[in-house]
Amino acid sequence: MSELFNVLTIPFLLAMFLAVTMGGSGTAPAFSAAYGANVIKQSLIPGLFGVMVLAGALIAGKQVSLTLGNGLLDQSFFTPFNTSIILLSVGLSLLIANLIGVPQSTSQSTVLSIAGAATALDSLNTHKLFFEIIPFWIILPIISFAIMLLLAKWVFPFIKRKHNTYDYTPINQSKGLKVLLVLSSLYVAFSIGANNVANAAAPIASLTANEIGQDSIKNFVPIIILSVLIVAPCFAIGSSLLGHKVTQKTGKEIIEVTPFYGTIIAVIVASLLIIASVTKGIPTSLVQLNGGAFIALSISKKGVKNTFKNKTVRRFFIVWSIAPVFSYLLTYVLINLFK
């Protein structure tokens, strides 16, 4: 038993480190709308975020865990060394993004880190990666952007004209709408739990199953649940330590968000993520869904040119492009060096 504990210690610590960085990055898509609309205090966010992430992981996170734990790389390849390299690569890429203040896709970094390991080990499930996962990465942010742009530029202005009103001031000052915005933020945190906790929990669940033996592999779900219970609380820690900067940038520095629009954004992105999690088990970038909706709102208010002049928007696209590639290359190189 002590030997098993020694083998699992480093991978579990790395998974907890990854969960801390994910908590920092995931806080922005969950609460940036509510924070940007000034309807929730910063001090309340980490606790609420942590509770809802845990609930989402336990209730709706099974399919994504199975995808990451066995779908891209065969479960037998999750050795202590390989698992540690995968988790370290993802954790470093997200830590750098958090320090820059840009919310980065945990799912994309994790998927490409596992893909880097699988490539080095000649066991990558290319069909799963190129024909199932990546198409979702392209399509869902476009859907988020398109829905928000349609609503903000055409639907809501039409409704205002029809009712002879020129602003949403009475709505935005409504206590009921502010409560709804907080509830929608909790809904986003739940969807993060459903999709993102698996990024840290699935690799160590596969590792644990391998180390215990074949019988445990047949009963993989209980091991996933145990891994989730260890990993998920670390999201709240990361939210507390690292979440403020990325929440500030998304919620304040692209465009000021009213409670009305904040609620709409939260519902759109969380619903898309839940659909990807439950129906297909696809690890998906919530931060990009959220960013797409914010950019669409900015375009509807400021225009395309002014939106893409924004330094924060440009920084988002740069980090979104570099961080997953960094995870892939670091994992691939390290495993090739030491295998």
Query: How far is 75 from 209, CA to CA, in rounded Å?
Result: 9
Q: What is the pTM of this model?
A: 0.86
What tokens were used for 262?
Answer: 């904040």
Query: How far is 50 from 224, CA to CA, in rounded Å?
Result: 18
Average pLDDT (146-152) is 95
Most confident of 112-126, 295-309, 319-333: 112-126
Among the residue ranges 35-39, 64-68, 144-148, the one predicted with the least confidence is 35-39
Residues of the chain with pLDDT > 70: what percent?
Answer: 86
Residues with Cβ within 8 Å of 168's Cβ and at least 6 positions away in sequence, in order, are 160, 258, 260
CB hemisphere CA count around 80 (13 angstroms): 12
69 φ/ψ angles, rounded to the nearest 5 degrees? -80, -15
Check whether 162 has a pLDDT greater than 50: yes
Identify the pLDDT of residue 190. 95
Q: Which domain holds residue 34?
A: 2-338
- CB-count burial class (<10 Å; 0-12, 13-18, 19+) for 331: buried
Identify the pLDDT of residue 64. 93
> Do residues 232 and 240 make contact, with C-beta atoms less than 8 angstroms apart?
no
What tokens were used for 245?
Answer: 């900067």
Identify the pLDDT of residue 136. 93
What is the DSSP track for 96-143? Answer: HHHHHT----HHHHHHHHHHHHHHHTT---HHIIIIIIHHHHHHHHHH
pLDDT tens digit sequence for 52-106: 999 999 999 989 988 898 889 988 899 999 999 999 999 888 778 767 766 678 8
User: Smallest Cα–Cα separation from 297: which of 261, 244, 259, 268?
Assistant: 261
Cα distance from N-terminal residue to C-terminal residue, the chain: 26
What tokens were used for 49?
Answer: 């975020």
Identify the pLDDT of residue 27. 78
Identify the pLDDT of residue 166. 43
Q: At what angle do helices 233-252 and 45-60 cross, to 10 degrees?
A: 120
Query: How far is Cα of residue 332 from the mean position of the Cα atoms in its chain?
Result: 23
- The pLDDT confidence band at residue 2, using thresholds 50, 70 and 90, is low
Identify the pLDDT of residue 167. 47
Q: At what angle do helices 106-120 and 311-338 cross, to 10 degrees?
A: 30
Identify the pLDDT of residue 225. 87
pLDDT tens digit sequence for 264-318: 888 998 999 999 999 889 999 887 888 899 899 989 988 998 888 888 788 878 8
Name the average pLDDT for the chain: 84
Please state whether 257 falls in left (phi above 0), alpha (psi between -120 and 50) or beta.
Answer: beta
Report how many domains make up the chain. 1
Average pLDDT (193-203) is 92
Average pLDDT (107-113) is 93
pLDDT tens digit sequence for 215-251: 555 667 788 888 999 999 899 898 888 766 555 555 4
Check whether 7 has a pLDDT greater than 90: no
Other beta carbons within 10 Å of 100: 16
Q: Is the dihedral of CA 291, 297, 299, 301 positive or negative?
A: negative
Q: Is the dihedral of CA 172, 173, 174, 179 positive or negative?
A: positive
Identify the pLDDT of residue 165. 47
Identify the pLDDT of residue 35. 74
Identify the pLDDT of residue 58. 92
